[in-house]
Structure 1
């Protein structure tokens, strides 16, 4: 049975400012989903609500049919992991120590790391290619290596749903592609449901099965990549004329967009 994550009539905002008036969303398949849309459209706000980091002003978020805010945090953490856009840890912490924090939902107070915990930590390090760096300090890692270390911590939770907020931010193109290919392989190998906020539209089209386009605090479009990744939708979302075409690469085909020089007035 697949895990489900739903937003039912959620109203979201901060300090009295409403960002999302009402939103309906259902995630019920182990697929890679990218949330796209212009700045300020509510993408990260929606992800925070889905991950339990933001309480809705109205409506509710359901994890496997139960209000996520009524569930014990440990139970949520055993099902779902979140990698926020900005994460911090002491620079002198080692990779292994960071990844070990992913086992906290499974440990009792003052309990030592078990053999099972050690196996899960080792598996998370191996899955992210960080096993040779387990004793490295975080402040000695490159941006791409740090991002993989944080991802390993999330995987150590053994989640079935993984939420990522702009995971390629601050990474060069090499490390962006490495991370996106890693996310795809984790989805395939572990049948993970992955929900990402992405600004890079070509990454979203290439590595996702489903796109959720958000504009002005509402879902503008939701569906498969071929359905959503069209010149008409990109023009409506971003006010930019673009050419969308399929390219062949490595025996498979994926869509890419090429923006034109001119930008349209917002709302045109």
Structure 2
């Protein structure tokens, strides 16, 4: 079952500072969507609004046609999971304990995990490739392993919408690729909608079906990767000239960009 999340004329900001003056977005089918744009454009602010972390100053976010802020947190948690850019947990917590937190929306206070919870946890641990790390402490894991553990916790919620804020931050290129391939596999196997903020444009182009580009708090472009990921759009977004090519890899093809000069420098 797919779920719809819709932003209707949302105005977003913090206190008196407005980041996004107005924006409309509809996400109504399982796909991988990357939100791109320069620093300070409102990418993470938009994701926070879609995930119920940030309340709009005006307008509303609808989850399956209902105001997301009028729904009970447990209702939202059974449909949507969010992995923020920065997450914290005690270093002596084990992978098992962390992933178990993902089952909380399905449990009453002080209720113990049952066989259904254990089966779900085993499945997401297997899917994220960390089943053998079940009893390891978080502070003993590498950055990539720790990110997989947090992802497993999010998946233990059995979400239909998975929101990720810069999931490859602090990871080396090997672990970035492993994580992105994992996200794609989870989307394909579970048919979940993935909405993620990404700085790496080539990751966004390779692993997404749709791109939402924002600039100065406004919706700049929204559509299939091949329509948004263009030389003209990247120039307007980032002020950088690029060359975009199609790469054939493993029987499939994807776009990549190579930045080579700044528009501002060319005009100087």
Shorter-chain TM-score bucket reads: over 0.9
1:83-109 residue CA offsets vs partner (Å, 9 max, x unmatched): 000000000000000000000000001
Residue 2 of structure 1 deviates from its aligned partner by 2.2
Whether contact under 8 Å (1:241, 1:264) holds in the other structure is no
- Paired position in structure 1 for 2:83: 83
- Paired position in structure 1 for 2:32: 32
Residue 114 of structure 1 deviates from its aligned partner by 1.0
Q: TM-score, normalised by structure 2?
A: 0.98
- Paired position in structure 2 for 1:227: 227
Residue 251 of structure 1 deviates from its aligned partner by 1.1
Matched, 1:202 2:202: yes
Aligned length: 266
Find the aligned partners of 2:18 and 2:142 in 1 and give their Cα distance: 37
Matched, 1:135 2:138: no
Find the aligned partners of 2:155 and 2:205 in 1 and give their Cα distance: 24
Show structure 1 runs of 5+ residues with no match.
none
- Paired position in structure 2 for 1:177: 177
Following superposition of structure 1 onto structure 2, how do residues 210-225 of structure 1 map, counting pairs within 5 Å? 210-225=210-225
Find the aligned partners of 1:81 and 1:19 in 2 and give their Cα distance: 24
Whether contact under 8 Å (1:35, 1:196) holds in the other structure is yes
SS at match of 1:264: helix
Following superposition of structure 1 onto structure 2, how do residues 1-268 of structure 1 map, counting pairs within 5 Å? 1-264=1-264
Whether contact under 8 Å (1:5, 1:50) holds in the other structure is yes
Residue 263 of structure 1 deviates from its aligned partner by 4.5
Residue 247 of structure 1 deviates from its aligned partner by 1.0
Whether contact under 8 Å (2:8, 2:24) holds in the other structure is yes
1:43-75 residue CA offsets vs partner (Å, 9 max, x unmatched): 000000000000000000000000000000001
The CA RMSD measured in Å over matched residues stands at: 1.0
Find the aligned partners of 2:245 and 2:130 in 1 and give their Cα distance: 36
Find the aligned partners of 2:261 and 2:23 in 1 and give their Cα distance: 34
Whether contact under 8 Å (1:128, 1:152) holds in the other structure is yes
Whether contact under 8 Å (1:33, 1:208) holds in the other structure is yes
1:174-221 residue CA offsets vs partner (Å, 9 max, x unmatched): 000000000000000000100000000000000000000000001100
Moved over 3 A (4+): none
Q: TM-score, normalised by structure 1?
A: 0.98
Whether contact under 8 Å (2:239, 2:262) holds in the other structure is no
